[in-house]
Structure 1
C-alpha cells in the first residue's frame, strides 16, 4: 500500500517530539514568554481605534478681489495648477470666496505632514500671484483633536481678570503636560469691552449650560479652555494627565470653578472596558465548555492554559508593532479566544483517547501528536493565510485593519506552538488513565456518535440529495444578501452628539450691519459684494456677525435644554478656521437616561426651529476625524455654476421629502445667478457637494447607508443636466473602497489557503474539498445577520473574513483522519465511518468553545456594543451552519471527488 502522505511531511511538523524530549527546556521557554508577555502588556495603551493620521495641508490665500469668480480665476486656479501635480497628494479641494481662497491638499494616510508642508511651501514660491495677494500654509493633522474642554467660571472676577488668570495659572500648567499640543482659550474678551473679538483675531464665543461669557445679573464670568493633543499622543493618557492637573488647580484656585464641558475619554473608557469584559467572559465560557466534553480537570486545565499563554505571546507581538489595546485589537483577541484554545483541545483530546486505550502518557503524547500534528498545523496556517493579508492591506482600510490581521495571526501562531509543545508536555505529567471501565459521558458520546454515524451512512447512500441541499442552502443565502441593509460603521448610542449650524454669511453680515446702523443712526454702510470672509474676520467695525451667530445658538440651545435627559450643553461659536457663521453645540446626555441617543437626535430634528438661510444638522461624533462630517455625500461636477446650483437644489428638495434623509444641505446655498458668493472645486473642476445624515425610517430603524446611497444616486442621475457629472464622497465612497479592498484581500487569502493546503497535503484533491466547504459558513452568517437586523458593513465583513479563516478546521480534521484510516488499510467507506465519528467530539468541542466565546460579544451589552455585535453574530451563525453542514457534506464530497479522481492507494 502506497502512503497517502510522505512520512517526512508529517514528521516535519511533529515538533512535539522534540518538546517532549526536552520538557524542562520547553517549560522554561514558556515561562519566559509569560514574563515577557506581562511586561509587554503593561506597555500597551488604551484607545478607541487604531492610530490613523489624515494629513491635510491648507493654503489660505487672500487678495483684493471683489467677487468669488475673480478669486477663482486670479487666485485659486494659479495656486491649484501648481499644487495639483505634487507627489503624494490624493485630492485638491478648494473654496473660493470674494477676496479669499482656501485650498486643501489631502495626502495618503501615513504621509509625513512636515514633509508635505515643506513641499507645498516650496511649490508656492514658484507661483506668481497678483499684486496684494498673500497666503499662509497651515498643516492640519486631524489626529490633533480637542480631547477635553473645561468651562471656567468665577463670580468674583471680571471676564478680563479671569482670562488673564486662566492664561497664567491654568493654561501655562496644562500646556507643559506630555502629549498636549496646545491649550486654546475660548470666549476671551477683546480690548474693546463693548464687543467680542472675531475668530480671525484668535477668539470665539462660548456658552456653557446657558451661561454667556458674562452674565451681568450675577456677575458670573465664564470662559473655557480646549486641550488639543499631539497627533501621536494617546487620548486617554493625555486626558488622564489633564484631569490630574485640574484637580490640583481646583485646590490652588478655590475661587475658580472648573467644570468638565466635553471629553473624548469617557466613551473610550467605557467602550474599552466593555470589550475587556467581553474578552474575560469569552475566556471563562470557552474554558467552562471544555469540562463537560472531557470530564477531566487536568485535561481541562491544560487546554485552558493555552489561552493566557497565547495571549502573553500575542501581547509581545502587539508591543513590537506599537499597537494599542483598542476596539479593533481587543475585538481580535475576544474573537480569537475560542480559536486559540481549539488547537490545544484537539491535541489534549487525542492524547486522552490514546491514554484511555491503555497507553502510557508519554506513549500517548508521542503517538497522538504525530497523528494530529499535520491537521492542527494545516488548520492554523490556513487561518493565518487569511488574516495576514488583512494586515498588509493598503490605504485607509489597511491602516484600520492592520492591527486586527497581525494580532489574530500572532495569537493563532502562538496557540499552535502552545498546542504542539506545552500541552503535550503538561499532559505527560498531569493526565492519567481512567480508573472506571466506562464513564457515563462515554456512553453519551457513544450514543451521539452512533446517531451521527447512522446519518452519515444515509448521506453516503444519497449523495445527490445531500449535495443538492448544500447547494440550495448556499443559493438561498446569496438570495438573502440584497435584503440585508448595507452599512459602513454602525451607529453608536454614545450619549453625546453635536448640533451644528451654518448661517448664510451674506445674510449674517447684513443683519449685523443693520443692527449697527440702527444703533448708530446709519453712520456707515458697507457694500456686501466687496465683503469677503477674510474681510469679515478682520473687521473692527462696531457691527459683529459673531454676536448674531450667538443669537442663533441661543435659539437652538433653548429647545435642547428642555429635554430632561440632557446633562450639559457646551456651545462654541466660530470655527477654528475663523468662520463666524458656524457654531457647534456639544450635547452630553445623562448617564441614566430614558432615551437612546439616536431617538433623541430624531426628536430634536423635528423640534428645532426652522430659521431662514440657516442650515442645522444633528451630527454623530466621528470615530476618526477625516474632515467629512456627514456619512452620506455626493459631488456634482461641472463648469456651469448655474447648472450645478440648479441640480443641487432640485436633488436636495427631492430627497428632503424622503424618510430617513435628514439634515440635507448643499454647498453654495447662498449663491444666486447674480451673486456668486462661494465656488467649490475638486481636483481642478468646479463641484457642488450634497450631504445628509441618516435618520429613522421607522421606530428604532435607521435608513442604511447602502440604501440611502442607491436612492440618492438614482435621484441625482434622473435630475442632473448633461453637463453635470456625479461622484460619491464621504462614507458612501469609503463603503465601496472597503468592499473593493476586502474583495481583493479575500481573493488573495483564498489563493494563500490553497497554496498552504497543497504544500501540507501534497496533492490537490483535499484542498479542493476543504475549499468547497468554506461557502457553507456563509449560509449561517447571512441568516444570522438577517435575523438580528444587523447591517452588512465593515464590521460584519470582518466577521466573514474571520469565518473564512477558522471554518476550514472541521473539514481539515475530517479529511486528514479519513486519509489516515485509509492509510491503515480501511476501504473508503470504512475509513469515513470510523474517522468522522472519532473526530465528532473534538469538532463539537472546538465549535462550542468558539461559539460560546462569541456569546458575550454578540449579546450587545455595554458601551460600543454596536461595533462588536454584528461581527460576533455573523461568526457564530456561520460556525453553526459550517459545523452542521460540513459534518455531512465534507465526507460526501470526499467520495464524489474520489470517484472522479481516484487516489493512488491500495
Structure 2
C-alpha cells in the first residue's frame, strides 16, 4: 500500500506551506485567547426544592413536606439521587440527575410535579422555591477586609456597595458574595414590661410599622383638565418621626412608639464572626463567569482591589485564598514540562541521527502539531485546564514520533547514497502505511474516552479530543511537512554506507533475535512467565480515586453542640488558631464562626479554619504530613468536633448508609463506628449525626385556646418576633439615599432571653383582645434534632474519618471485611456516593472503554492489513506493556487511580507502534520474495533504530513529569511512571518476542487458510481478474 500524499507535498511545496502557515497563525491566535481555568466546564443537572415554614421542627417538616416532595419527584426519569436536608423551619430537597439529562427540562419537570401536590402541602408554608443549581465552579478568590476606623457593619456596607459594584463590572466576574459581617438596621426594641402594662402584643408594633411607614400608589385623578397620579406618602423621614408614630390601645387611647420602645441605628444580631490572624474582618468571595479565564479575571480583580486600597487608605484588603494560584502554578508547570520534554526529545533525536538538519526537521513537528491543536480546542470552546494541558503533556513524545520514523527512514536512504530529494520521495512512500496505521491506532484508543459517560467521562471528553487532535495534526506534519523539509534541507552524504554494513549494536540484537526464533517455544514461555509474574504484582498496588495533592491550604471544619452561640464557637476556633499559629508551616489563618448549613441558614455552632501554608519547597513536610502532625491538637476538647476536609468540603473517608428505621440505623452506625476505629490507618472515626439541641416546648391548652380565641400561629409569631425579630422580607423598610434599612422589631437582649419575660408577653386573639401567653400555654424543656438528612427517600447517616497511610480503596476493602459491616440489619443499606462512587464508576467505565478501544484498534488493523492474524501479533505487545507498568508502579510505590489509568490508556495507544513497524516491514519483505526468517531478521535490523528512537523520545517527554515538584506532582508522576515502565518492557519484549509470535501466527494462518479455502468456490484466478 503506497500513499502518495508525501510525494504531492514534495513536488508541490507551496500549498503545503500555505496550509500550515494558516494553521500556525490560527493556533497562535487561539492560544492567546483561550481561557485558563482549573478544570473543564461540566454542567451538572441538579435541582433544589426549598420549602420554609417558620417555627416548624425538622420532624414535622419531614412528615408534612419532605416526604411528599420526594414521592412526587421520584417518578421523573433520569434521577440519580434524591437528597433532603431538614432543619428548623427549612426543608431542602436536592435532586441529582444523570449527566445526559438537560438541566432546564429537569427543572420544568420538577416544577410541574410540585405544582400538582401543592394543595397537599401545609397552607402555612411559603411557596416552594425551585432552582437549578449552577456548580460550574466555586469562588476563585477570597479576600478579608479590615479597618481600624470603621465598624464591621460599615465594612459590610463597603463590601456590598463599593467593592461589589466595582468588581461586578469586570468582564468575567459572575458575582461577589460577602462572607460574614453585619447588616445595619433600625432596631425597634419595645420594653416587655411596658407592653405587658398596656396589654400590647409585639406583633401589633410590627404590623403597624408595615402599614403606616410606607409610600403607596392611590390611583389617578383628573384635575383642571390634567391627569394627576395619586400618591400616599407615609414613609417617615428620620428616626424621630418613627418615634412619634401613635399606637392605638384597646380603650380608645394612644401611645407614642418612642414612649414604649428604644429606636436607634444598630446592626442585625451577629451570627457569623470572621477573623484573619486573630483580627475581626469581613470576607468576600469572587466567582468567575462561565467561559472566562481564571487568570485574566484574577488579574483584573487584583488590579481593581489595588485601586480601591489607594482610594480608601483606611481600609486593608488582604487575599486569603486563591484557586487561581494553583491554576497558574499548574499552567506554568505544564508549559515548563512541555518545553523540557521537547528539549529532551530533540537531544535524543540528535544523539541518534547526529545531524542538526535532520534534528531540526524532526523538531519542527512539535510546534506544527501543537499549535493546530489549540485551534481545535477553540473550535470546541474548551479552555486550557488541567485536563487539556495534561493531554498535551502526555503526547509531547508522540507528536515527534511520526516525524522521527519519517526522517529516520529518509536519512537511511541518504546514508546509502540517494540524493535528499529522491530519498524523501522513496522513503516517505515506503513508510507511509506504517505511519498512518500507528496514528489511527492511537486515535482509536483515545477517541472512545470522549464517550465514556458518567462524571469521569464528562470530565475527560476534552482529554480524548485534545489527544486525538494533536496526534492527527502530527500525522499531517509527518506526511506533508517532514518529507518536504527533508527533501529541501537535508544534504547528501559524501560517504555512502553499504546496506550490509550493520552497526555492531544492531548485530548483537540480531543474534538475540535469532536465538528466540530458533527456540520459539522457550522464548514464548519466558515471555508468558514475565507477563504472569508482572501482572501478579498488581496485588501489591492499592486502589484509589485521586492522589493527594499539596495545594498549601488546609481546611478544618469545627462543630460544637447545637445551641452554642457564635461567640462561644469563635472562642473555640480562636483557641485552636492560636495553637496552630506558632507552627512554622503556617502562613496565615482565616477563621469563620457561624457558617451556612445545607439549608442556607446560619449554623452558629459550626465554623471553619482555613490554614494557608508556605510553599511546598519551603517546608520540610507535605500538606498531608502537616495535617497528621496537628491531629492530636484536635482531640483535646471532647465537646468539639474537628475534621479535615478538602477544598470542596469532602472528607477523606466517608461511608453513607440509609435505613427505613431511624433507631435501628443509628444503633448499627455506632456499632460499626467502634469496629472501624480498630482499623489501622483510619483515624478520628465518627458517626456524623445532628446533635440534639435544647428546645423550649410551648404547648397551648386546647380549652384555653377555645375560650380566648387565640390561635397557635399567633403564639408562634409573637414568640418569634420577640426573640428573633421578623425576617427582612416581612419588615418595614427605612429608605436612605443609597440603600434600605430594615425596621426590625425585637425585644432588647436582656429581655428576649428571659423565660419570665416571654411568659408574660401578650398575644392577640381573634376578638382583638390580648391575653398573656402563660395563661393559654405551658412551657417546658426538651431535646430535639437540629437536622434530619435523607437520601433516596430514606434516613441517612454517615461515618467519616481521616486516612493515614491508607488509600481510599484499601480503607474501603478493610472496612468491608469487618464482621460488623457484613452483619448490618436488613433495614440498613450502604450507599455509594462521593469519592467511593466515583472510584467504582471510574474502574467500571474505563475497563469497558479499554476493551472497546482494543476491539476498535483490532478492527482498524484488520482493515489496514487485510488480515485477521497479524493484528493479533501487533496487539501482543499490549500485555507486555501493562506488565512493565505494574512493576514500575510497585517500585515507585504508587496506587492504581485515575492518573495511572490514563497512563495505561496512553500505553495502549503507543505500544502497538513497535509491532506495526516490525510486522509491516516483514510483510513487505515477504511480498518481495524473502523467506520468513530473513524477512524478520531484516525487519529487526531496519526498524530497531526508529523503534529505539521513538521509545526514548517518548520517555524523554515523560521524565519531566516524574521529576516535577509542583502542587499536582502527585497526579502527574505516577502516570508518567506507568508510561515509562510500560514503554521499556514493551520495547524490549516487542523486539524479541513479537517476531516469535508473528512466526506462530504465520504457521497457524498457513494451516487454517487451506481448510477455509475448501469452503469457498473463489479461486486465485478469480481474484486476479480485473474489475471496476
TM-score of the pair, normalised by structure 2: 0.78
Confirm or deny: 8 A CA contact 1:14 1:420 kept in the other structure.
no
Query: Could you tell me which residue of structure 1 aligns to residue 356 of structure 2?
Result: 297
Secondary structure at 1:141 match in 2: coil
What aligned pairs does 1:315-464 form with structure 2 within 5 A after superposition?
315-437=374-496, 446-464=503-521
Aligned equivalent of 1:559, options 579, 592, 601: 579
Q: Determine the C-alpha separation between the residues in 2 that align with 1:821 and 1:732.
A: 53
Secondary structure at 2:279 match in 1: coil
Confirm or deny: 8 A CA contact 1:615 1:665 kept in the other structure.
no
Q: Determine the C-alpha separation between the residues in 1 that align with 2:950 and 2:482.
A: 16
Query: Could you tell me which residue of structure 1 aligns to residue 138 of structure 2?
Result: 145
How far apart are residue 195 of structure 1 and its match? 9.3
Secondary structure at 1:617 match in 2: strand
Query: Could you tell me which residue of structure 2 aligns to residue 530 of structure 1?
Result: none
Tell me how many residue pairs correspond in the alignment.
834
How far apart are residue 469 of structure 1 and its match? 1.2
How far apart are residue 116 of structure 1 and its match? 3.9
Query: Could you tell me which residue of structure 1 aligns to residue 116 of structure 2?
Result: 126
Query: Could you tell me which residue of structure 2 aligns to residue 41 of structure 1?
Result: 31
How far apart are residue 236 of structure 1 and its match? 2.5
How far apart are residue 615 of structure 1 and its match? 2.3
Query: Could you tell me which residue of structure 1 aligns to residue 833 of structure 2?
Result: 729
Query: Could you tell me which residue of structure 2 aligns to residue 587 of structure 1?
Result: 611
Aligned equivalent of 1:106, options 96, 99, 110: 96
Aligned equivalent of 1:82, options 55, 72, 75: 72
What aligned pairs does 1:159-174 form with structure 2 within 5 A after superposition?
159-174=152-167
Q: Determine the C-alpha separation between the residues in 1 that align with 2:638 and 2:290.
A: 39
Confirm or deny: 8 A CA contact 1:860 1:866 kept in the other structure.
no
What aligned pairs does 1:531-680 form with structure 2 within 5 A after superposition?
545-576=565-596, 577-580=600-603, 581-591=605-615, 592-622=618-648, 629-670=650-691, 675-680=784-789
How far apart are residue 433 of structure 1 and its match? 2.2
Confirm or deny: 8 A CA contact 2:586 2:614 kept in the other structure.
yes
Aligned equivalent of 2:554, options 477, 497, 506: 497
Confirm or deny: 8 A CA contact 2:403 2:482 kept in the other structure.
yes
Secondary structure at 1:792 match in 2: coil
Are 2:168 and 1:181 aligned? Answer: no
Q: Determine the C-alpha separation between the residues in 2 that align with 1:398 and 1:863.
A: 24
What aligned pairs does 1:197-216 form with structure 2 within 5 A after superposition?
197=268, 204-212=272-280
Confirm or deny: 8 A CA contact 2:415 2:495 kept in the other structure.
no
Query: Could you tell me which residue of structure 1 aligns to residue 233 of structure 2?
Result: none
Q: Determine the C-alpha separation between the residues in 1 that align with 2:928 and 2:896.
A: 47
Q: Determine the C-alpha separation between the residues in 1 that align with 2:665 and 2:626.
A: 35
Query: Could you tell me which residue of structure 2 aligns to residue 781 of structure 1?
Result: 885
Are 2:777 and 1:757 aligned? Answer: no
Q: Determine the C-alpha separation between the residues in 1 that align with 2:369 and 2:352.
A: 22
Aligned equivalent of 1:693, options 802, 810, 821: 802
Of 266-275 and 180-189, more deviation after overlay is shown by 180-189
Confirm or deny: 8 A CA contact 1:556 1:609 kept in the other structure.
no
Aligned equivalent of 1:240, options 275, 292, 299: 299
Confirm or deny: 8 A CA contact 2:415 2:497 kept in the other structure.
no
Distance 1:802 1:302, change over 3 A: same
Are 2:942 and 1:838 aligned? Answer: yes
Query: Could you tell me which residue of structure 2 aligns to residue 537 of structure 1?
Result: none
How far apart are residue 207 of structure 1 and its match? 0.9
Query: Could you tell me which residue of structure 2 aligns to residue 3 of structure 1?
Result: none
Q: Determine the C-alpha separation between the residues in 1 that align with 2:582 and 2:671.
A: 35
Query: Could you tell me which residue of structure 2 aligns to residue 28 of structure 1?
Result: 18
Unaligned runs of 5+ in 1: 1-9, 213-221, 512-544, 623-627, 697-701
Distance 1:609 1:465, change over 3 A: same
What aligned pairs does 1:278-317 form with structure 2 within 5 A after superposition?
278-317=337-376
Q: Determine the C-alpha separation between the residues in 1 that align with 2:522 and 2:821.
A: 47
Secondary structure at 2:383 match in 1: coil
How far apart are residue 450 of structure 1 and its match? 0.3
Q: Determine the C-alpha separation between the residues in 2 that align with 1:288 and 1:265.
A: 34
Q: Determine the C-alpha separation between the residues in 2 that align with 1:578 and 1:71.
A: 16
Of 98-107 and 189-198, more deviation after overlay is shown by 189-198
Structure with a larger share of its residues in strand: 2
Confirm or deny: 8 A CA contact 2:35 2:291 kept in the other structure.
no
Distance 1:685 1:186, change over 3 A: closer
Q: Determine the C-alpha separation between the residues in 1 that align with 2:392 and 2:830.
A: 41
Confirm or deny: 8 A CA contact 1:198 1:578 kept in the other structure.
no
Distance 1:198 1:277, change over 3 A: farther
How far apart are residue 256 of structure 1 and its match? 1.3
Q: Determine the C-alpha separation between the residues in 2 that align with 1:497 and 1:116.
A: 36
CA RMSD of aligned residues (A): 2.4
Confirm or deny: 8 A CA contact 2:922 2:939 kept in the other structure.
yes
Of 608-617 and 589-598, more deviation after overlay is shown by 608-617
TM-superposition CA deviations, 1:683-727 (whole Å, max 9, x none): 122222223332x2xxxxx31111011122233523522331222
How far apart are residue 499 of structure 1 and its match? 0.6
Are 2:808 and 1:705 aligned? Answer: yes
Secondary structure at 2:536 match in 1: helix
Query: Could you tell me which residue of structure 2 aligns to residue 808 of structure 1?
Result: 912
Of 166-175 and 446-455, more deviation after overlay is shown by 166-175
TM-superposition CA deviations, 1:256-296 (whole Å, max 9, x none): 11111121111111122112111110011111110111111
Q: Determine the C-alpha separation between the residues in 1 that align with 2:382 and 2:486.
A: 34
Secondary structure at 1:582 match in 2: strand
Confirm or deny: 8 A CA contact 2:561 2:640 kept in the other structure.
yes
Query: Could you tell me which residue of structure 1 aligns to residue 876 of structure 2?
Result: 772
Confirm or deny: 8 A CA contact 1:142 1:231 kept in the other structure.
no
Q: Determine the C-alpha separation between the residues in 2 that align with 1:85 and 1:807.
A: 48
Q: Determine the C-alpha separation between the residues in 1 that align with 2:294 and 2:404.
A: 39
Query: Could you tell me which residue of structure 2 aligns to residue 217 of structure 1?
Result: none
Confirm or deny: 8 A CA contact 2:415 2:496 kept in the other structure.
no
Query: Could you tell me which residue of structure 1 aligns to residue 240 of structure 2?
Result: none
How far apart are residue 297 of structure 1 and its match? 1.4
Secondary structure at 2:400 match in 1: helix
Query: Could you tell me which residue of structure 2 aligns to residue 266 of structure 1?
Result: 325
Secondary structure at 1:125 match in 2: helix
Are 2:821 and 1:717 aligned? Answer: yes
Distance 1:87 1:551, change over 3 A: farther
Query: Could you tell me which residue of structure 1 aligns to residue 981 of structure 2?
Result: 877
TM-superposition CA deviations, 1:548-595 (whole Å, max 9, x none): 322232232222212122111111233332231321211101233333
Query: Could you tell me which residue of structure 2 aligns to residue 522 of structure 1?
Result: none
Aligned equivalent of 1:56, options 46, 52, 57: 46
Q: Determine the C-alpha separation between the residues in 2 that align with 1:498 and 1:224.
A: 16
Distance 1:879 1:194, change over 3 A: farther
How far apart are residue 142 of structure 1 and its match? 2.3
Query: Could you tell me which residue of structure 2 aligns to residue 72 of structure 1?
Result: 62
Unaligned runs of 5+ in 2: 188-263, 694-781, 1011-1019, 1021-1028
Q: Determine the C-alpha separation between the residues in 1 that align with 2:505 and 2:290.
A: 58
